[in-house]
Amino acid sequence: MPTLNLPVAGGKLKPYTTKPPRHFPAAKPPFNRIAYAAAHVVADPMTDGDPWLDAAIDWERTVAFRRHLWSLGLGVAEAMDTAQRGMGLDWPTSLELIRRSLEAARDFPGALIGCGAGTDHLDARNGVTIDDVIGAYEEQCAAIEKLGGRIVLMASRALVKAARTGDDYAKVYGRILGQVKAPVIIHWLGEMFDPALEGYWGHKDHHKAMDVAVDVIAAHPDKVDGVKVSLLDKDKEIAMRRRLPQGVRMYTGDDFNYAELIAGDARGYSDALLGIFDAIAPAAAAALGALTRGDAKTFHDILAPTVPLSRHVFKAPTRFYKTGVVFMAYLNGLQDHFTLVGGQESARSTLHLAELFRLADAAGLLADPDRAAVRMRAVLATRGVEA
């Protein structure tokens, strides 16, 4: 197995020898949990543009990655935060991404795909009203439904600016839920993922915010498939899960505690819509297959080593987690370069990437350690480290 010198604290290098990769048995749905991976986009590094300003997408590789996820039995949550939605990926490009993914999904009978609808095309810099937010949501929902897509109703930065109370949130969500053709997944994205969303549902206190969200869902249970909660707090997720109307699912967005939340307890469990499932897809699918067979021990045995990796990838500032997700795809040969939309490959330190490499190896997630070592060395070389 290859050995390379990886940086450690103090400006030093320490030899690290990789381990054999873990074999994750193929698993096919139906699983006893619904599981979406929030998929990243593959940037096109050969486009002549300004990476901080232009969202240049390699469409072929981006769609191929979605095929990879479907082939493992996972669903795809499209054009969401992991795809740098609103953080490099604008609405016209997002809609094109959704169109291409929906078209590709036809090759996988029963493939799950949810499509992010938000208000990110709305210019909220010079003031925005509740009616503006409603109109923006309506425009994106209609565009997705016209393509035959199912909606994930994303949190709105503009709504945070426009709303004054929880009643404003109830008005906006009530209007949209009253119009959608099929039940949606509501996404409550916490401020650790996007600081502009602090105070969502009209309250900075998450428990008070939860009251508003639960009331909105309870008023429209036939139009809500589930709610994805991304607060990185398992107790808050469990508390909300137990308050949901019958038939409304909780989709965990907790990239710190997903294993135990998916496993559940005597009073219920969470389904999954996770950014980390992009990076650990083979392990996630194998674990879900084991859980479906009633083998909880193997489920935890597979996922337990992935949790330290996920907590590292999503460590504060959490919004930079996309860097780690794409780095995993690069190490595993799912794309040929370590480049992100918006130049976000620079958002994590060299020490962070080195620790990610160690944790991925410990979880058995480096599919080809020789290739991964070569690529790790190449990245380190660009940062002045001879590994």
Q: Please give the full DSSP string across 120-179, using - where no structure is assigned.
A: TTS--TT---HHHHHHHHHHHHHHHHHTTPEEEE---HHHHHH--SHHHHHHHHHHHHTT
pLDDT > 70: percent of the chain: 100
Burial of 367 (0-12, 13-18, 19+ CB in 10 A): middle
Helix (H, G, I), strand (E, B) or coil at 270: coil
pLDDT of 284 > 80? The answer is yes
Query: What is the pLDDT at residue 127?
Result: 86
Of how many residues is the chain composed? 387
pLDDT of 287 > 80? The answer is yes
380, 387 contact by CB (below 8 A): yes
74, 37 contact by CB (below 8 A): yes
Confidence category of residue 328, pLDDT binned at 50, 70, 90: very high
What integer is the mean pLDDT of 152-160?
97
C-alpha closest to that of 329 among 350, 348, 302, 356: 356
pLDDT of 7 > 90? The answer is yes
CB atoms within 10 A of CB 333: 12
CA gap 41, 63 in Å, rounded: 8
Confidence category of residue 54, pLDDT binned at 50, 70, 90: confident
CA gap 299, 43 in Å, rounded: 33
pLDDT of 48 > 90? The answer is no
Query: What is the pLDDT at residue 194?
Result: 95
CA gap 102, 111 in Å, rounded: 10
Query: What is the pLDDT at residue 278?
Result: 98
State the DSSP H helix or E strand holding residue 217, giving kind and residue range, or none if neither.
helix 206-219
What integer is the mean pLDDT of 90-96?
97
What integer is the mean pLDDT of 175-199?
97
Query: What is the pLDDT at residue 189?
Result: 97
CB atoms within 10 A of CB 316: 9
Domain with CATH 3.20.20.70 in the chain: 28-304
232, 188 contact by CB (below 8 A): no
Peptide bond into 2 cis (omega under 30): no
CA gap 299, 291 in Å, rounded: 6
Residue 117 φ then ψ, to 5°: -115, 130
What integer is the mean pLDDT of 302-329?
98
Rounded to whole angstroms, what are the CA distances from 71 to 28, 31, 104, 130?
8, 14, 12, 41
Tens digit of each residue's pLDDT (9 = 90 or more) over 251-275: 999 999 999 999 999 999 999 999 9
Burial of 52 (0-12, 13-18, 19+ CB in 10 A): exposed
Confidence category of residue 49, pLDDT binned at 50, 70, 90: confident
Q: Does domain 28-304 have CATH number 3.20.20.70?
A: yes
Query: What is the pLDDT at residue 30?
Result: 93
What integer is the mean pLDDT of 110-138?
93
Query: What is the pLDDT at residue 86?
Result: 87
Q: Which residues, including other chains, have CB under 8 Å from residue 372's CB and lie 6 or more apart?
A: 18, 331, 332, 357, 360, 361, 366
pLDDT > 90: percent of the chain: 93
State the DSSP H helix or E strand holding residue 78, giving kind and residue range, or none if neither.
strand 75-78
Query: What is the pLDDT at residue 55?
Result: 86
Query: What is the pLDDT at residue 183?
Result: 98
The answer to which of 6-20, 40-54, 171-185, 273-287 has the lowest mean pLDDT is 40-54
Query: What is the pLDDT at residue 220?
Result: 97
What integer is the mean pLDDT of 342-370?
97
Helix (H, G, I), strand (E, B) or coil at 224: strand
Query: What is the pLDDT at residue 123?
Result: 84
